[in-house]
Amino acid sequence: MVNNAGVASIQSIAEITLEQVEKTFKVNIHGVLWGIQAAAVKFKERGHKGKIISASSIAGHEGFPLLGVY
What is the rounded distance in angstroms from the CA atom of residue 30 to the CA atom of residue 5? 11
Report yes or no on 68 lying in a domain: no
Q: What is the pLDDT of residue 62?
A: 85
Report yes or no on 69 lying in a domain: no
Report yes or no on 64 lying in a domain: no
What is the rounded distance in angstroms from the CA atom of residue 28 to the CA atom of residue 49? 25
Q: Domain span at residue 25?
A: 13-46
Q: What is the pLDDT of residue 20?
A: 95
Report yes or no on 38 lying in a domain: yes
Report yes or no on 27 lying in a domain: yes
Which pTM does this prediction carry? 0.79
11: CB partners within 8 A, 6+ apart: 20, 66
Q: In the annotation, is 70 catalytic?
A: yes
Q: How many domains does the chain have?
A: 1
Q: What is the pLDDT of residue 5?
A: 83
Choosing from 9, 24, 69, 70, the catalytic residue is 70
Report yes or no on 19 lying in a domain: yes
Report yes or no on 25 lying in a domain: yes
Q: What is the pLDDT of residue 59?
A: 81
pLDDT tens for the chain, 70 residues: list them: 999 888 998 999 999 999 999 999 999 999 999 999 999 999 999 998 999 999 988 887 788 889 888 8
Report yes or no on 65 lying in a domain: no
